[in-house]
Amino acid sequence: MRYLHTMVRVTDLDAALKFWVDALGLVLARRIDNEQGKFSLVFLCAPYDLENAKINQAPLVELTYNWPRENGAEVLTSGRNFGHLAYQVDDIYAICARLQAQGIVINRPPRDGHMAFVRSPDNISIELLQKGPNLPPQEPWLSMQNIGEW
């Protein structure tokens, strides 16, 4: 398992970048602006980690900005601005089976052979991402529905 990133939702991307980059001193490793989904993902890292972050896409802080909708910007309630921790795993099915055997709910099963979400006992969302190409979809994961929030 390899730590990838921590995701934080922001309501004002310019203000967030002013804090994280200009004040704190993190640097831009990657940015994705998704027109269809109406969101931006900005991946930042410490200057010392930049070369590694560009190669390995880790360790990063992900700022997620959901663009304003017709009815205004997304309102973030207390604690909702923290998104998740992300880890890359060698076999997403094996780790999900191990977690499930320990009584941990798989909130977002790895139906795609790529991504799953679980929650810690303190309700911290954990994203698990398959290392390399997606594994072929397989049961029981393929038929499992999402459970709760992730």
35-82 pLDDT tens trace? 999 999 999 999 999 999 999 999 999 999 999 876 655 555 555 678
Number of domains in the chain: 2
Q: Show the domain range for 57.
A: 2-66
Return the pLDDT at 81. 74
CA distances from 37 to 44, 65, 84, 125 (A): 21, 11, 19, 21
Catalytic residues: 127
Tokens describing residue 17: 């970048």
Q: Both 106 and 58 in a single domain?
A: no
Q: Which CATH number goes with the domain that contains 24?
A: 3.10.180.10
Q: Both 97 and 137 in a single domain?
A: yes
Residue 124, pLDDT > 90, answer no
Return the pLDDT at 24. 83
Q: Both 6 and 45 in a single domain?
A: yes
Please provide the DSSP assignment of 98-133 as one string. Answer: HHHHTT--EEE--TTSSEEEEE-TT--EEEEEESSS
Q: Is residue 28 part of a domain?
A: yes
Please tell me the pTM assigned to this model: 0.74
Question: Of all helices (H) and strands (E), which one includes residue 31?
Answer: strand 27-34
